[in-house]
Structure 1
Amino acid sequence: MPASSRPPVASDRIDRLSAAPMYDQLRRIIIASIDHDALRPGDPLPGEHRLCEKYGISRTVVRQALAQLEHEGIIERVKGKGTFVARPRTSESLAHTLIGLYDEVAARGGTVLSDVLRHERVAADEAVAAALEVDPGSPVVVLQRLRHVDGEPWSLSTTWMPMDVGEITLGANLRTASLYRMLASHGFVVTHGVRSAEATVASHEQARHLGVSTGAALLRLRSISREASGRPIEYFVAHHRGDRSRFEFHLHREQSHATLLRIDRTGEASRASTLSV
Structure 2
Amino acid sequence: MTAEPEPTPSGTIDRSASTPYYLQLKHILQDQVSSGLLRPGDQLEGEHDLGRRYGVSRPVVRQALAELHRENVLERVRGRGTFVAQPRTSQSLVQFVHGLYDDVAALGRTLRSEVRRFTVEPADHDLELRLGVELDAPVIALERLRFVDDEPWVYTISHVPFALAPDLLTHDLTRLSLYHLLQEVYGLQIERSDRVVEAQAADTELAKDLRIPPGGPVLKLTSVSFTADGTPLETFVAYHRADRSRFEVSLTRSEQGGPPHPVVRIV
Common fold: TM-score over 0.5:
yes
Q: CA deviation at 1:109?
A: 1.3
Q: CA deviation at 1:134?
A: 1.0
Q: Tell me the equivalent position of 2:203.
A: 203
How many residue pairs get aligned? The number is: 201
- 1:88-167 equivalence runs, <5 A: 88-96=86-94, 97-167=96-166
Q: Is 1:74 aligned to residue 58 of structure 2?
A: no
Counterpart amino acid of 1:276? P
Q: CA deviation at 1:171?
A: 2.1
Q: Check whether the contact 1:92–1:248 (CA below 8 A) recurs between aligned residues.
A: no
Structure 1 residues 169 and 209: alpha-carbon distance in aligned structure 2, compared to 1, 3 A threshold: same
Q: Check whether the contact 1:201–1:217 (CA below 8 A) recurs between aligned residues.
A: yes
Q: Report Cα offsets for 1:28-57 as digits up to 9, x if no partner.
A: xxxxxxx8xx98643579xxxxxxxxxxxx
Q: Distance in 2 between matches of 1:184 and 1:86?
A: 38
Q: Distance in 2 between matches of 1:99 and 1:245?
A: 15
Q: Check whether the contact 1:93–1:249 (CA below 8 A) recurs between aligned residues.
A: no
- The CA RMSD over aligned residues, in Å, is 3.2
Q: Distance in 1 between matches of 2:210 and 2:41?
A: 18
Counterpart amino acid of 1:92? S
Give 5+ residue unaligned stretches, structure 1.
Answer: 1-34, 46-68, 258-273
Structure 1 residues 275 and 254: alpha-carbon distance in aligned structure 2, compared to 1, 3 A threshold: closer
Q: Check whether the contact 1:75–1:85 (CA below 8 A) recurs between aligned residues.
A: yes
Structure 1 residues 219 and 86: alpha-carbon distance in aligned structure 2, compared to 1, 3 A threshold: farther
Q: Which aligned segments of 4 or more residues in structure 1 are displaced greater than 6 angstroms? A: none
Counterpart amino acid of 2:202? A
Q: CA deviation at 1:89?
A: 4.2
Q: Is 1:182 aligned to residue 181 of structure 2?
A: yes
Partner secondary structure for residue 159 of structure 2: strand
Q: Tell me the equivalent position of 2:242.
A: 242
| Identity over aligned pairs, percent | 36
Partner secondary structure for residue 249 of structure 1: strand
Q: Tell me the equivalent position of 1:172.
A: 171
Q: Distance in 2 between matches of 1:86 and 1:217?
A: 20
Q: Distance in 1 between matches of 2:117 and 2:131?
A: 19
Partner secondary structure for residue 113 of structure 2: strand
Partner secondary structure for residue 251 of structure 2: coil
Structure 1 residues 89 and 76: alpha-carbon distance in aligned structure 2, compared to 1, 3 A threshold: farther
Q: CA deviation at 1:248?
A: 2.4
Structure 1 residues 169 and 249: alpha-carbon distance in aligned structure 2, compared to 1, 3 A threshold: farther
Give 5+ residue unaligned stretches, structure 2.
Answer: 1-28, 30-36, 45-68, 262-267
Q: Check whether the contact 2:145–2:156 (CA below 8 A) recurs between aligned residues.
A: yes
Q: Tell me the equivalent position of 1:85.
A: 83
Q: Tell me the equivalent position of 1:253.
A: 253
Q: Distance in 1 between matches of 2:168 and 2:77?
A: 38
Counterpart amino acid of 2:260? S
Q: Check whether the contact 1:89–1:246 (CA below 8 A) recurs between aligned residues.
A: no
Q: Check whether the contact 1:95–1:249 (CA below 8 A) recurs between aligned residues.
A: no
How high is the TM-score relative to the length of structure 2? 0.66
How high is the TM-score relative to the length of structure 1? 0.63
Q: Check whether the contact 1:95–1:247 (CA below 8 A) recurs between aligned residues.
A: no
Q: Distance in 2 between matches of 1:217 and 1:165?
A: 35
Structure 1 residues 198 and 122: alpha-carbon distance in aligned structure 2, compared to 1, 3 A threshold: same
Q: Tell me the equivalent position of 1:276.
A: 260
